[in-house]
Structure 1
Amino acid sequence: MPDKRSALLANLWDEKKAAAMSEPERLVYRSNLLGSDKRVTNYGGGNTSSKIMQKDPLTGEMVEVLWVKGSGGDSASIKLDGFATLYMDKLRALKGLYRGPDHEDEMVGYLPHCTFNLNPRAASIDTPLHAYVPKPFVDHMHPDAIIAIAAAKDSRALTKTVFGDAIGWLPWRRPGYELGLWLEKFCKENPKAKGVVLESHGLFTWGDTPEECYRTTIDTINAAIEWFDGQTSGKPAFGGAAVKALAPQERRAVAARLMPKIRGMISGAISKVGHFDDSEAVLEFVNSEKLRPLAALGTSCPDHFLRTKIRPLVIDFDPARPDVEAVAARLADDVAAYRADYQAYYDRCRHGNSPAVRDPNAVVYLIPGIGMLTFAADKATARIAGEFYVNAINVMRGASAVSDYVGLPEQEAFDIEYWLLEEAKLQRMPKPKSLAGRVALVTGGAGGIGKATAIRLLREGACVVLADIDATALEVANGELGTAFGKDFVRSIRLDVTSEEDVAAGFASTVVEFGGLDILVSNAGISSSAPIENTELSMWNRNMDILAKGYFLVSREAFRLFKRQAIGGNVVFIASKNGLAASPNAAAYCTAKAAEIHLARCLALEGAEHQIRVNTVNPDAVLRGSKIWTGEWREQRAAAYSMQPDELEEHYRKRSMLKRSVFPEDIAEAVYFLASDMSAKSTGNIVNVDAGNAQSFTR
């Protein structure tokens, strides 16, 4: 079997394209190119800068301005407004205020005084590192291949071996003002160097032009990739495989079984969302001989560590003798042991002014034969945490192959995690939306009421799975909502609610995508109209199948999942005014809708002791955007009232007590109320959204 060779980074710089840009635009271009490959830096990681001559808006004189990626920005997607701009003469003047390493954090407070042109973008802690490198263009990246050298026991010697004198080396130092002075000193003492490896951290490179800086970054990373390929050729990674992975579908089945259990145990005041990764890199690590000793060392790079916590939780599982229920039964002890270990770490390392201990639960869960689970307050953060741990895996693979991998020392890790500047950053984060961390499944999600409901829940921060039998409409809705709210928040599954197998598979897919479920909106429906003597048995059965059996099947699966999670749940039925008020020529439809309402009442009784709430929304005459009003139903209802189809909406408006039309967004608003904590003490209720109909009054 031939050795696998790592693909080298491509030089994507387009000289003609860059020549047409302004200097700030070239900085954006350079940043986006570097951020486009996760082997260079992951989401939010690394930063870039350019020192640019610009006209001072106050004096009109040309001054040197540092453009540097602002706090919280992402290289791959950053735009001009993502960069902080600061006067270089003021940044240099800060040296006169510096009182030494014990006081370096106070220097962050001076950065706003250096702001150029009233730029509101906050400067990051890495600003001095860029300011004091005496080169106009600087890149700071976190490439896997470089950190594998930086995190090795003998990283200084390896740096010399791989790069000679072209790239230097500096020992570990937490990012900040002092490290900026170290970089300046290195550059002055090594004028021919093109960059420097920072122990346990990453890579700094520089150049006299933007293209030279970019090319040096790419070439340096590629040199490391090629060197590692030569050193590791023919050698098994991580000591070789200890276990064999299960088949893909079996891996997903195990994840679907365990993720809700874990989610229930670690979701408290903040609901957690999960992510599952069984990629080749992850499986190679979790199946290996060195899984436990390497995982126990934690990550090295601060960017990796801040996303993935001090260390992962390794779950005992034998894929050769898979006993998922036994693993699930042990999870409570595993989670409790991790929490206790984390608390002990906090107690050992805390300072007198350290912030209070934060969430003690693991972020990363590693399962031999299965893959990796990550949990966080939202899907994007959970996914990104997984991506960062894959970076850490790549680093451990390289470092352990050529030397000994060294994680960040425990006290250093704590001082970064509980850094007062990091705490201040966390405190500035916006308040979470009302449904942040919640997961909702909406049946009939591609139609009018279903899609409007999904939009309303997404606006409040929920993750939403659109379930529908119409594959074409589902694809359109998924694309539309994914674009509007972000692909991390939206998934879709083709689902026939009358199929027991489809429903079970759909819920399992939801769990693997998001870790569990909090809200079920049962909305899939049809309609039919005919006098009783003309009602075919097939019509009767179809109504009962979709509107009664379908609601039963999805509710049953939701209850099973909610009880496994053990953190409550929320079911909202979209029934109909017709479930309470009979209509002519619609016996099958009205009867099935009445069954939905009574089923909801029964489920409210059963769910209460488990904190599972079940409520119903009764719409009436929601024509706009509704798929059931685009076919025979419209013609049939018009015939029942002896009018033209185009007259129906006005007829229903006039028939209502409030003389108002009812739209999908009105139903969605009621669903949101019942699905949110605003109705936390309500279950077994019916909310009519019909603009007023005395016949459907519930009392």
Structure 2
Amino acid sequence: MNETVAALLARSNRLGADPRNTNYAGGNTSAKGTDVDPVTGGPVELLWVKGSGGDLGTLTEPGLAALRLDRLRSLVGVYPGVEREDEMVAAFDYCLHGRGGAAPSIDTAMHGLVDAAHVDHLHPDSGIAIATAADGEKLTAEIFGGKVAWVPWRRPGFQLGLDIAAIKDGDPDVIGTVLGGHGITAWGATSDEAEANSRWIIETAAAYIAEHGKPEPFGAVVEGFEALPETERRAKAAALAPLVRGLASTDKPQVGHYTDSDVVLEFLSREKLAPLAALGTSCPDHFLRTKVRPLVVDLPATATVEEITARLTELHAEYRAAYQAYYDTYKVEDSPAIRGADPAIVLVPGVGMFSFGANKQTARVAGEFYVNAINVMRGAEAISTYAPIDESEKFRIEYWLLEEAKLQRAPKPKALVGRIALVTGAASGIGKAIAARFAAEGACVVIADLDASKAADAAAELGNADVAIGVAADVTDAAGVRAAFDAAALAFGGVDLVVNNAGLSISKPLADTTEADWDLLHDVLAKGSFLVAQAAAKTMTAQNMGGDLLYISSKNSVFAGPNNVAYSAAKADQAHQVRLLAAELGEHGIRVNGINPDGVVRGSGIFAGGWGASRAAVYGVPEEELGQFYAQRTLLKREVLPEHVANAAFALVGGELTHTTGLHVPVDAGVAAAFLR
């Protein structure tokens, strides 16, 4: 790797690792240097700059765009002026050096035109606090003593690059700028110098705010709006989350994220909450993720869930109308179509913040960005008055044709993106295979299992907490089932796909089957499925987004085999629940279907727990050959694996069978005696 590139990546990762320096995927860094031109064999001057959409903290070489510096600087001669500056982004492609790498971002000009070997553009909370203060220009001069210049708000682009370059050329003592309403830029002759200058600006701004700021920049605590005790707070959040998610998904399904950090709860308790929230965020990275402003519940923390629910419904309608008016006010002839009028941030005093996005990572990051915005507002209010950029400018950024082009370039989402699955008994066997398939198709997954440790391990195999979480769930206990659904609500906002898979088996002749055997099987399979379905229906109806409820029943629900009365009767109970609930829940858009597997031996927790040995004894075959024995009695002569059941589960919920409910799908390789009639 080129030494200049290595130093750039190391600097970028260090700066991006600290949220005080910049937000996730925010800002960009660059370095200028020499490399070998493979065509001429001679040296060529290049600019390496973080590409569009990358994150500094995790930046690697493929995330850089490499451009020929001579061609990039020659663009100044053909620049048509600020009214047509967007055309320059396409021109960057003609400056690229070689193939591969990331697409150049809108900020490329800032890096290429500034006459410094290393340039950083960052979005630190302390810097944006100065940038959004009503007297930001005066503060910049006072705080930095002439070492940092003020640049009035200008939308990112070629002209902003020219403006900053002129400042650098005009005063060799200036080490960076505060960009009005936006962030900071710093530079240096070496990578270490640029990083040191960036950190000095950030730390100097933070120290000034700490020393000179008002002690209560958000005003006094409003009685009744204080944070609820943690247990009560999280219980109320779990109760509200499905409703809030449903409202935020009116235009398009969203995944949720819940935050109850001290920063958020303090802001929600103060007298300036409503007026500051109404002003909205300022840094482009912020409002692109959070929309121009949040939805704020104007009720105290003591309000009941029912009172908050009723008020949320009213406020949501008002929010949508206001957002539509915002779009209609500022749209122009070539503006992209409105992308939806639902809030991305919902603030509930005493409870916390709900943030939303197309997937969990996007929802989580939206919440992180609003925390950044709170910190910015606090800093600006501490030393001045918070004064974000005008709404007309926010609209120009939010509905920028360049931003729309970036969205259009994004890959088509997978089938289950935006959907949340809860699978019981998912630490092994069929449940684990279904969870893995759903996660692979883009769903967020809750692994619910009797063994919390195994559930956590299974979730970790699927990815980080943006993909899956593990929770303990005894399906025979109503409180335990409710706790699992509450965990899903707090982690992802609710549930859309619920799989009744938890089970066990006992194989005995009628004479040997005890009352305890009968009760245990019916508790887990029949009662357990009922409790899970009941909790699922409550969440899904609150969301008003429809949903899918799947039962993993069994061939035994319709097939009469020997030595199996308790298990098969309980499975028949499950199978009829499918029909009954399909009839009852259809009016809510909830589809209920079942899968009848048979002979799923490999990977099965049930078979490993003694069922395999018992059935092998019934059929007179070695236990290790039981899977093949089952296969040979099927019409297809194929062994059934957990993944085959997972395939059927995806087929039922993946979007093609939208008008199918009350169906049982056999996954048994063909057992004629179990054909559904």
Band the TM-score falls in, shorter-chain normalisation: over 0.9
TM-superposed deviation, 1:268: 4.2
Aligned partner of 1:198 in structure 2 is 179
Aligned partner of 1:267 in structure 2 is 249
Indicate whether 1:297 and 2:273 are aligned: no
2:487 partner letter:
S
Question: Is contact 2:456-2:469 (8 Å) kept?
Answer: no
Q: 1:256 aligns with which of 232, 238, 244?
A: 238
TM-score, normalization by structure 1: 0.95
Deviations 1:175-228 (A, max 9, x none): 000000001100011111111111111111111111111122122211112111
Runs of 4+ that moved beyond 4 A: none
Indicate whether 1:378 and 2:359 are aligned: yes
Question: Is contact 1:539-1:588 (8 Å) kept?
Answer: yes
Question: Is contact 2:474-2:480 (8 Å) kept?
Answer: yes
Distance 2:453 2:485 in 1: 21
Deviations 1:407-436 (A, max 9, x none): 120111111111111111111111111111
Distance 1:214 1:603 in 2: 61
Deviates more, 1:207-216 or 1:398-407: 207-216
Indicate whether 1:566 and 2:562 are aligned: no
Aligned partner of 2:220 in structure 1 is 240
Aligned partner of 2:326 in structure 1 is 345
Backbone CA RMSD of aligned residues: 1.3
The 3-state SS of whatever aligns with 1:525 is coil
Distance 1:396 1:267 in 2: 28
Distance 1:105 1:633 in 2: 67
TM-superposed deviation, 1:487: 2.8
CA pair 240-269 structure 1, distance change in 2 beyond 3 A:
closer
TM-superposed deviation, 1:322: 2.1
TM-superposed deviation, 1:120: 4.6
Distance 2:608 2:3 in 1: 53
The 3-state SS of whatever aligns with 2:58 is coil
Question: Is contact 2:446-2:471 (8 Å) kept?
Answer: yes
Aligned partner of 1:336 in structure 2 is 317
Q: 2:568 aligns with which of 590, 594, 598?
A: 590
Aligned partner of 2:674 in structure 1 is 696
TM-superposed deviation, 1:140: 0.6
CA pair 110-212 structure 1, distance change in 2 beyond 3 A:
same
1:566 partner letter:
N
Query: Is there any run of 5+ residues in structure 1 with no aligned partner, and where?
Result: 1-19
Aligned partner of 2:641 in structure 1 is 663
Q: 1:115 aligns with which of 76, 96, 99?
A: 96
2:571 partner letter:
K
Aligned partner of 1:93 in structure 2 is 74
Distance 2:640 2:338 in 1: 49
TM-superposed deviation, 1:269: 5.6
TM-superposed deviation, 1:330: 2.4
Aligned partner of 2:139 in structure 1 is 158
The 3-state SS of whatever aligns with 2:218 is helix
The 3-state SS of whatever aligns with 1:521 is strand
TM-score, normalization by structure 2: 0.98
Distance 2:27 2:642 in 1: 45
The 3-state SS of whatever aligns with 2:88 is helix
Distance 2:180 2:568 in 1: 71
Aligned partner of 1:472 in structure 2 is 453
Aligned partner of 1:15 in structure 2 is none
Q: 1:503 aligns with which of 475, 481, 506?
A: 481
The 3-state SS of whatever aligns with 2:49 is strand
Deviates more, 1:685-694 or 1:162-171: 162-171
1:307 partner letter:
R
TM-superposed deviation, 1:161: 1.5
TM-superposed deviation, 1:541: 1.0
Deviations 1:146-197 (A, max 9, x none): 1101100011111111111221111111100000000110001111111111
Deviations 1:225-265 (A, max 9, x none): 211111237x1230121121111122222222222112223
1:202 partner letter:
G
The 3-state SS of whatever aligns with 2:149 is strand
Aligned runs of 1:670-685 on 2, under 5 Å?
670-685=648-663
Deviates more, 1:62-71 or 1:648-657: 648-657
Aligned partner of 1:617 in structure 2 is 595
Q: 2:168 aligns with which of 177, 184, 187?
A: 187
Deviations 1:260-289 (A, max 9, x none): 112223324621111111100001111111
1:473 partner letter:
K
TM-superposed deviation, 1:629: 1.1
Question: Is contact 1:298-1:408 (8 Å) kept?
Answer: no
Q: 2:293 aligns with which of 298, 311, 318?
A: 311
Question: Is contact 1:571-1:675 (8 Å) kept?
Answer: no
Distance 2:100 2:671 in 1: 57
2:91 partner letter:
Y
Distance 1:468 1:119 in 2: 45
Indicate whether 1:428 and 2:409 are aligned: yes
Indicate whether 1:536 and 2:517 are aligned: no
2:566 partner letter:
A
Query: Is there any run of 5+ residues in structure 2 with no aligned partner, and where?
Result: none
Distance 1:645 1:542 in 2: 25
Deviates more, 1:341-350 or 1:394-403: 341-350
Deviations 1:505-549 (A, max 9, x none): 111111111111111011001011111111122111111110111
Deviates more, 1:263-272 or 1:289-298: 263-272
Q: 1:58 aligns with which of 24, 30, 39?
A: 39
Distance 1:322 1:356 in 2: 38
1:574 partner letter:
I
Distance 1:478 1:460 in 2: 15
Distance 2:192 2:397 in 1: 33
Aligned partner of 2:618 in structure 1 is 640
Deviates more, 1:328-337 or 1:381-390: 328-337
1:503 partner letter:
V
Indicate whether 1:72 and 2:50 are aligned: no
